[in-house]
Chains A and B, each alone.
Chain A
Amino acid sequence: MTLSALAATLPASGGGESYQPPTPAIFWQPLFEVGPITVTNQMAWAAIITGVLSLVLIMLSKNASVVPSKGQWLLEGVYNFPRNSVARDMIGTKEFKKYVPLLVTLFLMVLFYNLAGSFFLTMNPVTGKVGFPIALTLVVYVVYHWVSIQKMGLGGYFKHMIPPGLPGWIVPFVFLLELITYFITRPLTLALRLFGNMFAGHMVIYLFVTGAFYFLLHGDGILLQALSVPTFIMAGVMVLFEILVQFLQAFVFTLLAASYIAAAVSDDH
């Protein structure tokens, strides 16, 4: 609000075009329509990223051998991070291998969909559209519930939500809290954390870039036009910062997914 107010007051002195602060509408990028389906730019990029990623993965892992080639070595580095640092550390050496493909897929997908926000051709994170984080969260949601119910049975799963040794009167409250945690809070935070970071990051970069262009093109006087220089620099800094956030969010998403699965796999509460 303050930003838009500031932006609105700035051009008032110049009398030129007024500055339009970015709105959520900048994320709405329809490409074409097929019947009732509206294909968006983000969907196209998701398809391209998935396709390229799949091809590269198949190519690099095709001739996997004991002594790795340069490509395999690179792939192992990318693959080992979710495998060892996330899956093995969270789930434990006994059962982690079963979940490695899932977690590796989640990590790679979130990472590269995020990085589309810093890639010069796209400059728009695919995960900035809430549909994609929800889709991935849905997968995690189904998996950890499925594993839990398989392990403990439906009744056992609900019983397991109440820690033993609680006084009787508190049990319903704890049960309710745990139920909300397992079925609402976890998926909601998992999806919204990723979405919010990508959405806000893109908005901030967009704001700085458009603001800098506005200063440069419509600035009244040399002083305001010169102000575009630090604004551009700030946009660059924000891009670097966003790259860090994009990596971090991919890691956090995978880590939390692994921790939910680990809680379902482990016997104790």
Chain B
Amino acid sequence: MHITATVSSVVGLAAAGEGETMPLIPHWEELVFGLVMFAILFWVVAKKVAPNLEKAYEERHAAIEGGIAQAENAQAEAEAAKAQYEAQLAEARAEAAKIREDARAEGAAIVAEMRGQAQDESNRITDSAQKQIAAERQQASVSLRGEVGRLSTDLAGRIVGHELQDSSSRQGLIDSFLAELESGKVQPEKVGAAAASTTAAEQGQLDLGDAGRDA
């Protein structure tokens, strides 16, 4: 059985022809057909597929490079904007510092002005107070003069024993006395001690001088 099978297959193969018996001997139609098939497929790939795809690849490459350039541009722009922003910030800071400095100077000026005004005011108040004091002293001196005259006449009347009943004559006497006193005709040392004569006269002159000026 085994032998017959082998024999029959060998016979069958031999009968079929050269192309099919020996697998290593090409069936020449297939070889030529393979070349034709290759030519067709090569034409398709070389004329249709490869050019289209390579073109797409190149465009893609260009697009990617363009995208990178665009990104670089954007970055440069952003950096410029940042620099500008920082410059503006520095400017604003400088301005703020200047404003602060100005305000401080202005404040100092205001304080100085206020201090001057206060000084003026205090000077003015002091002046008016002094003037008032002077006026009051003047007034006191005038009233004192009248008082002194009356007291001295009373005193003199009591001492002399001669009552000057007549007020008008008395007043005339006092006035003439005071006038003499002012003009310097009366020497007070005639009444007082001789030792203090000069200084007292000067004092009296001085006092009277003051009084006269005030009046």
Chain A residues within CB distance 8 Å of chain B = 4-5, 8-9, 12, 18, 20, 23-25, 27-28, 37-40, 42-43, 46-47, 50, 53-54, 57-58, 61-62, 64-66, 68, 72, 75-76, 79, 97, 100-102, 104-105, 108-109, 129-132, 134-136, 138-139, 192, 195, 199
Tell whether, in the assembled complex, residue A75 and residue B53 are in contact, meaning their CB atoms are under 8 Å apart.
Answer: yes
Partner of A28, one of B19, B32, B44: B19
In the complex, what residue of chain B is closest to A68 when comparing beta carbons?
B56
Chain B residues in contact with chain A, CB under 8 A? 1-2, 5-6, 9, 12-13, 16, 19-35, 37-38, 40-42, 44-46, 48-50, 52-56, 59-60, 63
A57–B37 alpha-carbon span in the complex (Å) = 15
Residue of B nearest to A18 (CB): B1
Using Cβ atoms and an 8 Å threshold, which residues of chain A touch B9?
20, 23, 25
Known: A53-B44, A108-B41, A134-B34. 11 other contacts (CB 8 A): A4-B6, A12-B1, A20-B5, A28-B16, A28-B20, A61-B49, A104-B50, A105-B38, A130-B24, A131-B28, A135-B32
CB distance from A19 to the nearest CB of B (A): 9
CB <8 Å contact, A97 and B54: yes
Docked-complex contact A131 and B34, CB < 8 angstroms: yes
- CB <8 Å contact, B19 and A38: yes
User: Contact at A38–B29, with CB atoms within 8 Å?
Assistant: yes
Q: Enumerate chain A residues within 8 angstroms of B12, measured Cβ to Cβ.
A: 25
List residues of chain B with CB within 8 A of the CB of A79: 49-50, 53
Residues of B within 8 A of A23 (CB): 9, 13
Q: Would A136 and B38 count as touching, CB distance under 8 A?
A: yes
Partner of B56, one of A64, A100, A102: A64
Q: Which residues of A contact B25 (CB under 8 A)?
A: 130
**Chain A residue with Cβ nearest B31:** A131
Output the least CB separation between A213 and chain B (Å).
17
Q: Give Cα distance in the complex from A109 to B60, angstroms.
A: 28
Task: State A232–B125 Cα separation when bound (angstroms).
Answer: 131
In the complex, the answer to whether B34 meets A136 with C-beta atoms within 8 Å is yes
